[in-house]
Amino acid sequence: MDMVTMRVFDALACGAFVLAEYSDDLARLFEIGTEVESYATLEQLIEKVQHYLDNPAEARTIAYNGRARVLRDHTIAQRLDTMLTTAGLE
């Protein structure tokens, strides 16, 4: 499935570290490994969970970067503006 749920945006906006299933949309919206982390297989998920449990400072840095990206580029107001512009209503 190629989509990014609101949960990703919400968690990042709250400063949480997000490890999400990889999608092209996720990679288009965020820098993987810098603003959000992703996995494509169960093995990758297990490896990355262990990696970030062993390296919490790295996870915190990614969380910080993800929050900054959401607040800079992905607020509800920005999304609404994009929708209105696309619909020709603004």
In the chain, what are the domain boundaries? 6-86
What is the 3 state secondary structure string of the chain?
CCCCCHHHHHHHHCCCCCEEECCHHHHHHCCECCCEEEECCHHHHHHHHHHHHHCHHHHHHHHHHHHHHHHHHCCHHHHHHHHHHHCCCC
pTM of the entire predicted model? 0.87
Give the chain's residues under pLDDT 70. Answer: 1
Whether the Cβ atoms of residue 4 and residue 14 lie closer than 8 Å to each other: no
Q: Supply the pLDDT for residue 23.
A: 96
**Cβ neighbours, 10 Å, residue 27:** 14
Q: Supply the pLDDT for residue 41.
A: 98
